[in-house]
Amino acid sequence: MSGGDNDVVLIKGNKRLDGRGFDELRDIKMEVSVLERAEGSAYIEWGKNRVIVGVYGPRELHPKFLQDPTRAMLRCVYNLAPFSVDERKKPGPDRRSVEISKVCAEALSSVVMLERFPNTVIDVYVEVLQADAGTRCAGLTAASLALADAGIPMKDLVAACSAGKVQGQIVVDLMKEEDNFGQCDLPMAIIPRKSEVVLLQMDGKLSRDEFKQAYKMAVDGCMKVYEMQKNTLLGSMNKFVGVEGGVENGD
Ligand code: CDP
């Protein structure tokens, strides 16, 4: 986020660089059970973002002094692959990935019924294979699918989406050029059933009215993502029990 670059044209008429309207999300595809050795997994394509998530556990937490007899610990590791961005990223954790791992773990901890698994740890690995802005939202969305895929009891899914300001206009789901040269990015995640916000970060500046508008756009985006998540899980369940398109498959 540069604070707004006036030389870069991001909006022409009522369309954005990639032809989207202001309230339009990028194309999103989701899939679960994509990894054999993980308890649960998910893969998401969100615009040009490609993110895979593996969930391991609940398993006994070591070293033992970290164990909590009242609840499980949920750990999250967000990793941007060196080849996922234009300018090769140095492998390993950095300030940004530590921050994103922390906010994702906190958001997911608010839906997982951790008290059901005392003394254990649930590990969530978010691997970004290709990045084009909004990777924390894509990662969180896929992570909650992977947790559900692992059969870990949850109060609801976490659905995420960002909104922001580009060339003075409030838009949803910023892509990389908009993130780089826009004026503000507001990634959010919610627990849809409780209308509870579990992640809200802001990079840039918005007036009070702009914030209200962006907040609403991000929540509307989260609700669209939530519908896709539910359909993905339902599709995977139907495949498992041999139901195709609502009709029982005899073989
Ligand atoms: O990805 P997200 O929007 O959640 O996080 P960000 O820190 O706002 O990063 C925005 C985008 O910048 C990423 O999605 C990448 O496309 C890009 N980026 C990069 O090119 N190199 C990095 N070391 C970090 C981010």
Angle between helices 95-109 and 135-149 (to 10 degrees): 40
What is the pLDDT, as a whole number, of residue 174?
A: 98
Closest C-alpha residue for ligand 1 atom 20? 85
User: For the chain, what are the domain ranges?
Assistant: 15-235
Q: What is the tens place of the pLDDT at every residue in 70-128?
A: 999 999 999 999 999 999 999 999 999 999 999 999 999 999 999 999 999 999 999 99
For residue 249, the model assigns a pLDDT of: 41
- Tallying the residues shown for the chain, one arrives at 251
Pick among 3.40.50.1970, 3.30.230.70, 3.40.630.30, 3.90.45.10: CATH of 15-235 = 3.30.230.70
The predicted pLDDT at position 7 comes to 74
Place of tokens 């300018």: 87
Phi and psi, residue 50, nearest 5°: -135, 115
In the chain, DSSP assigns E strands to 11-12, 15-16, 28-32, 40-46, 49-60, 73-80, 120-130, 159-166, 169-172, 184-191, 196-200, 203-204, 243-244, 247-248
Pocket around ligand 1 at a 6 A CB cut-off: 80, 85-86, 89, 96, 131-136, 176, 179, 185, 187
Whether the Cβ atoms of residue 85 and residue 94 lie closer than 8 Å to each other: no
End-to-end Cα, the chain, rounded Å: 53
Residue 230 near residue 154 (C-beta atoms within 8 A):
no
Residue nearest to atom 13 of ligand 1 (CA): 133
Give the atom of ligand 1 at the shortest distance from the alpha carbon of 96: 7
